[in-house]
């Protein structure tokens, strides 16, 4: 009996060990799937035809020769101030560029997005290719452009002035070669990507256009090998604490809005989040009070919460909002009485998280395009970009880099190094061709909507 029991115990240990090995293997495969894309015979065949075509090769050469013009576009765009909600002047400039390039259906919509269409045969998908007009910098920021040691320094020069310039270079390549695509291409400069813009440009565009089958977003980081295909979700709150206020001495014993906010922030700071999926939070700004000798009647904080999982984001949001109320309750309990602190949390930013298969056709197209320009593609971790919105709606989307090199993004010392910057528009040019197809040469990899 003891021998039989020993055998059963050993069998149990072996089963447990086998299960552990299987789990490790699955985790390894999962990790591999997050960094590479599997290319189908359909994608491989399409790109062999596309990259061998004389007109396509002409387009790639044109983009390389267009390098100086694209850099001049970057410099011209960056010095036009475009803080969040005040992108109009830059949008008007960009519209003139699209007009000169002969796009059809030119329009500035009610939100401020500027776009035009390069029609295909009418028998394929409609692809949106966009970069954003706005910068993270507030009105009044000194946007003096400085060139030093081969780099260009200016707030917003990379993010996303360079992205807007990339689109213009790609359009010129299409106009020069006369390549006719199967699907339509909508080239768009969007508003509201940065800060509290809350993706308002993308949200408005998709509200007005239900026929978009895929999106190529052009943004930082610059690395031309990167392909971002997952969206980091974020919820942002403006939380206001209101109370009776009063004199610091004569009204002592009255609950303070600032003290209540401080209690809430202390609780938030102790929240534990999972490492995977990456989930984060921060209280980014605080304000309140009227004087050093006054009990604060009002205090306010801005709260940012992010996660690569919509489920984890919502779970954290529920927890933190509960803790904020606890902070106010504790301040009220500390002093008692009828005078109370109230809390008013307002959602001011909602970027949904989103995921799609690393083997989706839009990822495959970007992958093959990267290889076609002699670079080794990388699927990178989730990010918060304009691509979040379509991905969350089930519309295939990728974010592709601006080329060259960049640094100090979102700081006054932001810089862009144009070394090999032409690789980005070349990659985007090829990605577009793969997705919408070339008339008489290749069928669209992107299904029409």
What is the signed CA dihedral for 202, 205, 207, 213, rounded to 10 degrees?
-90
CA pair distance 282, 337, nearest whole angstrom: 32
Q: Which domains does the chain have, with CATH numbers?
A: 41-231+354-436 (3.40.630.10), 233-351 (3.30.70.360)
166 and 353 in contact (C-beta within 8 Å)?
no
pLDDT at residue 449, rounded to an integer: 84
Strands (E), 96-195: 104-108, 114-118, 126-132, 146-148, 151-153, 184-190
Question: What 3-state class would DSSP assign to 171?
Answer: helix
Which residues, including other chains, have CB under 8 Å from residue 280's CB and lie 6 or more apart? 273, 305, 306, 307
Measured CA angle at 443 (ends 438, 449), to 5 deg? 105
Q: State the Cα–Cα distance between residues 92 and 98, nearest whole angstrom.
A: 10
Kindly write down the DSSP assignment for every residue of 95-123, as one continuous string: HHHHHHTT-EEEEE-TT--EEEEE---SS
73-86: b or e for each residue (b if 16 or more CB lie within 10 Å)?
bbbebbebbbbbbe
Residue 150's CB is within 10 A of a number of other CB atoms, namely 10
Q: What is the pLDDT of residue 238?
A: 98
pTM: 0.88
Residues 6+ apart with CB under 8 A from 96: none
3-state secondary structure of 10: helix
Tokens standing for residue 101: 């390039």
For 371, the token pair is: 């290889």
Residue 62: DSSP 8-state = H
Distance in angstroms (rounded) separating the CA atoms of residues 395 and 447: 11
What's the pLDDT tens digit per position in 159-214?
999 999 999 999 999 999 999 999 999 999 999 999 899 999 999 999 999 999 99
Give me the residues of the chain with pLDDT under 50, please: 1-33
- Give tens-digit pLDDT for 318-370: 999 999 999 999 999 999 999 999 999 999 999 999 999 999 999 999 999 99
Residues 40 and 38: their CA atoms lie apart, in Å, by 6
Residue 298: per-residue pLDDT: 98
The total of other beta-carbon atoms located within 10 Å of residue 12's CB is: 10
Q: Which residues are CB-contacts of 384 (< 8 A; sequence separation ≥ 6)?
A: 231, 232, 233, 234, 306, 351
User: 156 in helix, strand or coil?
Assistant: coil
Structure tokens, 252:
């002592």
> What pLDDT is attached to residue 320?
98
CA dist., res. 205 & res. 212, Å (int): 10
| Distance from C-alpha of 343 to C-alpha of 346, rounded to nearest angstrom | 10
- Which pLDDT score is estimated for 20? 36
Pinpoint the alpha helices (H) of 286-393: 310-335, 361-372, 388-392
């Amino acid at each position: 009996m003891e021998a039989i029991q020993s055998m059963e115990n050993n069998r149990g240990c072996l089963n447990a060990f086998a299960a552990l090995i299987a789990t490790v293997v699955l985790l390894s495969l999962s990790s591999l799937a997050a960094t590479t894309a599997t290319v189908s015979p359909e994608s491989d065949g399409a790109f062999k035809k596309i990259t061998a075509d004389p007109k396509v090769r002409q387009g790639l050469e044109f983009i390389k020769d267009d390098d100086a013009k694209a850099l001049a576009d970057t410099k011209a765009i960056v010095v036009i101030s475009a803080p969040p909600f005040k992108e109009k002047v830059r949008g008007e400039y960009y519209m003139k560029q699209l007009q000169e390039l002969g796009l059809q259906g030119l329009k500035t919509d009610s939100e401020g997005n500027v776009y035009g269409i390069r029609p295909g045969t009418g028998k394929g998908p409609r692809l949106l290719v966009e970069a954003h007009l706005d910068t993270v910098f507030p009105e009044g920021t000194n946007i003096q452009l400085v060139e030093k040691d081969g780099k260009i320094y200016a707030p917003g020069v990379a993010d996303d002035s360079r992205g807007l310039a990339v689109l213009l270079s790609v359009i010129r390549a299409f106009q020069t070669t006369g390549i006719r695509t199967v699907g339509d291409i909508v080239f768009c400069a969007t508003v509201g990507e940065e800060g509290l813009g809350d993706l308002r440009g993308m949200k408005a565009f998709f509200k007005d256009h239900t026929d978009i089958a895929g999106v190529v977003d052009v943004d930082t980081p610059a690395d031309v090998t990167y392909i971002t295909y997952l969206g980091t979700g974020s919820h942002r709150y403006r939380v206001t604490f209101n109370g009776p206020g009063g004199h610091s001495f004569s009204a002592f014993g009255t609950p303070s809005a600032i003290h209540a906010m401080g209690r809430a922030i202390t609780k938030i700071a102790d929240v534990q989040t999972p490492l995977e999926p990456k989930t984060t939070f921060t209280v980014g700004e605080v304000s309140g009070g009227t004087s050093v000798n006054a009990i604060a009647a009002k205090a306010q904080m801005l709260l940012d919460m992010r996660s690569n999982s919509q489920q984890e984001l919502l779970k954290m949001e529920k927890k933190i909002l509960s803790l904020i109320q606890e902070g106010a309750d504790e301040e009220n309990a500390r002093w008692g009485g009828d005078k109370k602190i109230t809390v008013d949390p307002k959602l001011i930013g909602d970027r949904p998280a989103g995921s799609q298969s690393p083997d989706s056709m839009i990822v495959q197209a970007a992958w093959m395009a990267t290889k076609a320009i002699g670079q080794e593609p990388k699927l990178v971790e989730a990010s918060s970009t304009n691509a979040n919105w379509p991905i969350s709606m089930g519309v295939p989307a990728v974010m592709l880099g601006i080329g060259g090199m960049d640094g100090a993004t979102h700081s006054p010392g932001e810089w862009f190094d144009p070394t090999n910057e032409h690789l980005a528009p070349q990659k985007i040019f090829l990605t577009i061709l793969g997705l919408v197809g070339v008339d008489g040469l290749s069928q669209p990899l992107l299904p029409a909507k």
